[in-house]
Every structure is written in C-alpha cells, then in structure tokens.
Amino acid sequence: MSTAEPSVFSRIVAREIPATIVAETERLIAIEDIAPKAPVHVLVIPKTEAYANVVELAAGDPGLLAELVAMAEGIAADRADGQFRLVFNTGESAGQTVFHVHAHVLAGDLQEGTLAA
C-alpha cells in the first residue's frame, strides 16, 4: 500500500475539502470544476485512487469506466440536452496535474486555455 498523501479528489470524497457535488454513487463522485472552461464543466471521479489515468482504469476496471461514462451522460442530459465533450488528460505533458483518474464533462462554448487537472 502506498504511503503517498491522498489526492485532492480523495480528500473531497472524504469531505475534508469542500466541493459542489453534482452526483454521487457508491463508486463515483461528480463535482463542479473550480475553474470552469465551459458553461458546463463537471469532473467525474472514481472514489478509488487505484488508477492514475484512464488507460489504467480501462485495463483495471472497465466496468467502473463504463459507470463513469454513464454518469457523464446523465449529467449532460440534465445540463446540456445530452450534448457534451468527455476529456481525460493522461500524462503531465497532456495537462494532467492530479494523478487520480477523472473525466471532464464539458458542454457549451469552450473557453480559451487548456484543461489542466
């Protein structure tokens, strides 16, 4: 077991850091992004830190990845008539800054800049 500090997302799951929760299940949490890049910008995050990125998640727990996509679709249905972008940053040079897999659900006009997190 790793002795690394919990990720910011694990701290949100544990309610140590406040966040605006959009949806939650036993295995996932969805929160408003604190620096939105589009009118709808929600992060969907597995509650486990076992996977650093979407490639690891797909290999290790494809069912959880399917749940994540289904939650993203539901959020988009509620907030954007079902139309959305689903972005996973994988690796530091791709803009990933939190190495706890998560998806960005974006809808509406994308603002300039990158999707870091």
78 contacts 84 by C-beta, under 8 angstroms: no
102 is catalytic: yes
88 contacts 44 by C-beta, under 8 angstroms: no
Phi, psi for 106 (deg, rounded to 5): -120, 140
- Collapsing DSSP states into helix, strand and coil, what is residue 69? helix
Rg, C-alpha atoms of the chain: 13
Distance CA 16, CA 18 (A): 7
Q: Point out the catalytic residue in the list 41, 100, 102, 104.
A: 102
DSSP secondary-structure letter at 64?
A: H
Catalytic site positions: 102
